[in-house]
Amino acid sequence: MKIIISVYQAAPWCQRKGLQKFWSAYVPCDTQYKDAVRQTLEQIDVVHRMCEKYPETFMFASSSKEIMDAFAMNKTASLIGVEGGHSIDSSLGTLRTMYHLGVRYLTLTHSCNTPWADNWLVDTGSEPSEHNGLSPFGKQLILEMNRLGMLIDLAHVPVTVMNQVLGMSQAPVIFSHSSAYSVCPHKRNVPDEVLLKVREKKGVVMVNFYNDYVTCSKTANLSDVADHFDHIKKVAGVDIIGFGGDYDGVTRVPEGLEDVSKVPDLVAELLRRGWTDEEVKKALGDNLLRVFTEVERVRDSLKGSKPDDVPIPYADVQNPCRTSYGYPDNAGAVHSVSALTLLLTLALQVLVY
């Protein structure tokens, strides 16, 4: 399990002690088409059990209000994100189920294409594009995430997907752990033209601390990370900046930022560079809370919309580990669904009478 978004404090940063973490339910790409859903659910279960076992420290949160409630009780607000679209097995029903279990963001891809979205390696030329960004189902998924109130995470996607999502999402988006491409031209980072679109969408880019994305080398220091904060602020303004350490998810972190306990040192560096208390406060948490609140507002505005029940085309996901049950052209599946509906109807009648 990874701490993708490392740590935040609500305003004013110098007075509040409550913290916020997104615990990332991450499973490797080689689980795709196999047991990705099961492994992801097991990690979601770990987060819930951790909060139950240590209630004096952690409070499970699934809304912006619950984050503030945790802050008020001086507890760590613990949220869940799923890092990698392969974890939902191309199923909107699985996406909705994970939302009901408390998942509040989905990283569209990790480092592999899914049957509906290209991943960031496409931009390196090391993997071919399969969908020219998002497939039609991928676009369905974006709209369904808007309807649910789930944050769309564009870390790990190619520029084509960044632009497609920024153009069609009704809600602001996040980059949960990506840095500035102009400072370090790594394809996991965000180009300036996309930073400007994030500003227009009122989203947030959360700076990653991984050395390879900070300096494009194996070594980096705290000052190098601060350079990314400064650049994003200069290009698109302080309102889109956040902290996205990626602790436990990377093998190298900068000198001076070895763990979350060193985040105050980064804050001190930003203040030394002329950032105001208000600007630091926004980067530490207020920007993300604003985005989360707006995603919830969009969800509420779509309350009358029905869930999307159109499945991904079977041809797009056909493989030896998957059956065609549930698709209209599978007679056996139709009969099975009809029989289940009949049984549920009879059971309800028994309960009523």
Pairing of strands 76-83, 58-60: parallel
pLDDT of residue 248: 83
pLDDT of residue 2: 57
Q: What is the distance between the alpha carbons of residues 231 and 41, in angstroms, rounded to a whole number?
A: 38
Residue 22: φ, ψ to 5°: -100, 115
Residue 58: φ, ψ to 5°: -110, 140
Contacts with 293 (C-beta within 8 Å, 6 or more apart), sequence order = 64
- How much is the pTM? 0.90
pLDDT of residue 282: 97
Q: What is the distance between the alpha carbons of residues 188 and 155, in angstroms, rounded to a whole number?
A: 7
Residue 349 has pLDDT above 80, yes or no: no
pLDDT per residue as tens digits for the range 94-112: 999 999 999 999 999 999 9
Q: What is the distance between the alpha carbons of residues 138 and 240, in angstroms, rounded to a whole number?
A: 25
Domain boundaries, the chain: 2-322
pLDDT per residue as tens digits for the range 45-91: 999 999 999 999 999 999 999 999 999 999 999 999 999 999 999 99
List, as own/partner pairs, every contact residues 28-33 make where C-beta atoms lie below 8 angstroms and the sequence separation is at least 24, other chains included: 28/110, 29/84, 29/86, 29/110, 29/111, 29/112, 31/86, 32/86, 32/112, 32/114, 33/89, 33/319, 33/321, 33/322
Q: What does the angle CA 89 – CA 104 – CA 309 come to, to the nearest 5 degrees?
A: 45
The CATH class given to the 2-322 domain equals alpha beta
pLDDT of residue 341: 44
Nearest to 26 by CA among 248, 281, 206: 248
What HEC string does 137-148 produce? HHHHHHHHHHHH
Report residue 345's pLDDT band, with 50, 70 and 90 as the boundaries.
very low
On the CB side of 171, CA atoms within 13 Å amount to 30
Residue 7 has pLDDT above 90, yes or no: no
Residue 158 has pLDDT above 60, yes or no: yes
Residue 353 has pLDDT above 60, yes or no: no
pLDDT per residue as tens digits for the range 200-251: 999 999 999 999 999 999 999 999 999 999 999 999 999 999 999 898 889 9
pLDDT of residue 335: 38
Report residue 143's pLDDT band, with 50, 70 and 90 as the boundaries.
very high
What average pLDDT does the structure give for the chain? 90
